[in-house]
Structure 1
């Protein structure tokens, strides 16, 4: 399963829980949701912008996105932490990617992602960011 599909599956589950009222984020969590969405948007820009960047910069942005998710998971508990931890797990292959050649073959198992893999991971981050924006702006939520 590609990263986008995996993240889409987790986001769909979260949205079902939100819509059913099974998950009602607290005001503190909503603030974290909005901060995380903004950080993800900064880390991974629009597709046309990302695709023009060198591979090393694209990978750096994806790693920054994972770091933003990890910081939010560290600052909360319950459903928001569980949700973002699962999204992070789905995006974890990014941590095994490299952008630099390893001429001696010693890269600690890191592999060069192809452009399709980079685009898929970036699309997954954008999708997650959009869901977080929607969640932070749900009717009845305070800003």
Structure 2
């Protein structure tokens, strides 16, 4: 997850630097809003570790929802970028924080603490590039 997001952010930075991608004003507004929502969901690196797994997973899902909502309002390169970012974070949708008990889980699995951290770091990278897009 983190590797894919790193590649996406590097490609976005390259396109912005080479002026192959010049975000429209409306795209910058959407990027700024999405960046703020990602930051609100995941926050600073030390914050999530004090949260329960249930709360960490809820925040990761909030971040993924913020990307999906932003994607619904754009077209072109920003939409392609957000779609690829949401796809990279898709494993979050299959995670569960609660024990399964004796029943089926619809294929949901409990992530490791490292997977939570990796997902949070990936979202922070997305926050950073969306902030950059918003100010370009």
Normalising by structure 2, what TM-score? Answer: 0.97
**Shift of residue 105 of structure 1?**
4.3
Match of 2:83 in 1: 85
Match of 1:110 in 2: 108
Structure 1 residues 60-87: Cα deviation after superposition (integer angstroms, max 9, x where no partner) = 0000000000001100100000001001
Structure 1 residues 82-113: Cα deviation after superposition (integer angstroms, max 9, x where no partner) = 00100110000000000011111410000000
* Alpha-carbon distance in structure 1 between the residues aligned to 2:48 and 2:77: 31
Normalising by structure 1, what TM-score? Answer: 0.93
Mapped pair 1:55 → 2:53: yes
Match of 2:10 in 1: 12
Match of 1:129 in 2: 127
* Alpha-carbon distance in structure 2 between the residues aligned to 1:76 and 1:135: 13
* Alpha-carbon distance in structure 1 between the residues aligned to 2:38 and 2:75: 20
SS at match of 2:86: helix
Q: How does 1:61-72 map to 2 (within 5 A)?
A: 61-72=59-70
* C-alpha RMSD over aligned residues: 0.8
* Alpha-carbon distance in structure 1 between the residues aligned to 2:75 and 2:111: 33
Match of 1:27 in 2: 25
Unmatched 5+ stretches in structure 2: none
Unmatched 5+ stretches in structure 1: 139-143
Mapped pair 1:43 → 2:46: no
* Alpha-carbon distance in structure 1 between the residues aligned to 2:82 and 2:59: 18
